[in-house]
A and B are shown apart, each in its own frame.
Chain A
Amino acid sequence: MLQKTSPEIGGMGHSVKRKEDLRFIQGKGTYVDDVHLPGMVYGHMVRSPYAHAKIGAIRIEEAMKIPGVLAVITGNDLAKAGLAWMPTLFHDKQMVLATGKVLFQSQEVAFVVAEDRYTAADEKFVRQVFKKP
């Protein structure tokens, strides 16, 4: 017959209660999304609703006037730092944030930083970015 070792000397052949379960089953875990730090702000990626479209003038000054908006980063900003096109693992280069025009639907166009997630994800930014298709 299979001899079980005692839990004290390793617990081979025994099921062991997990220490972390107690907090997880009561909603007391701390996942990354649960962490609130002082001064924490929210970022949101503005993505293209169109598969092929010219990017209109992104009126950053106007976007910055929206209460709670802290920064709007565009492809042009990255281009100034030489970061708009970055190498990939496939030895080609791809746009980080689109400059000029977008080439596929949901392509990243701008990054908005705001004091709360609703301001950052506001539909207004999409309207500011695109001309009519």
Chain B
Amino acid sequence: VKPTIAAKKRGLTLVELVLGLVVVSMVAGATGAMMTAVGAGWAHGNQVEVSTSVSTQAMVRIQKILRAAKQIGVCRTGGISGSPSQSAAVLIWKGDINGDGHIQVSELALIEHQSSANPASAQLVCWELVFPSTWTTAQKQAQDLTLADDAIYSDAEIDSFKATTNVRAAGIVTCVTAAEFHRIDSSGTVRPALEYALKFNKDGVVIVKYGRTTSRTPAALPASQS
């Protein structure tokens, strides 16, 4: 039977239309929810990826500094949780650059944790002596004093070193909201080590990483520390 022109032009009934809209909206809602979830998961995955990358690079940087160290000096423990009374810090003899067997101020480095309410500003910094480029050799030598062999094992040396003229801090890794250091060394230790725990907060993703790095070029402990 050939349909009439009237039948061909007939639209949907209200019920059909409502049902169709309901089905379409349900499908659209489900699709939207799924896309939102996938997007959120994707974004979170990216954040984790970035945080992992940041924390891994941070560990690599710390390892590089510590491996080259001749001695690991005084260490402030800090804390990975709670509110430690002192920030984690460790003073190291980063190398016998002039080969004289003694510690000069320019051969020191202080790794210190600087906390902040803003996780992005919380960081680990490395304090080092940086001579002004305009200084003469004589001026540099005058400031680059030789320390007593056991000076770096005194807690007071941390603040003294930071207060030294031309000693400046440079960030080595950001987003470190908490840090804890433990020095492993004694007269019977062949290779001194530093154990550390760092809590990273990158865009809300919190990661805690633990590490232990031994010095590859240890110098003998001074008599007062043996």
> Do A and B originate from a single complex?
no
* Chain B residues with a Cβ under 8 A of chain A: none
